[in-house]
Amino acid sequence: MNRRLAKARAEHEQYLYRLGVRGTGGKRSIHSIPNYRQNSSQVISSNAVPENGTARSAVKYTGNEIAGIVTTHKSNLMPIRRDNPQAAVDAASMRR
């Protein structure tokens, strides 16, 4: 190492010392990390895996409500209900 580099490093070390930087060691934490481990003999567990209690039951169509499906303009499929036969007439005449 030449003299200029050694002088520059020494000046830099003095500068860091004035700023409060001491040494080149790693930083130490001022906080301690608590021990989160628990005694496993106190933990009660089970080998039984429960079913998904929040799942909805499957909805199945019974076939009583829809009379048919019509195709209107632009290949739009539209269901026709049994209680509204006028909807089939309107769909046949391309009305919305």
Full-model pTM:
0.34
Strands (E), the chain: 66-72, 76-81
Q: Name which of 77, 59, 55 is nearest 68 in CA terms.
A: 77
The rounded average pLDDT for each run of 10 residues, N- to C-terminus, in the chain (96 residues) is 91 89 71 75 70 78 85 85 88 75
Domain ranges of the chain: 64-96
Q: Which residues pair with 81 in a beta bridge?
A: 66
Residue type, 23: G
pLDDT at residue 5 in the model:
94
pLDDT at residue 53 in the model:
73
pLDDT at residue 8 in the model:
95
pLDDT at residue 3 in the model:
93
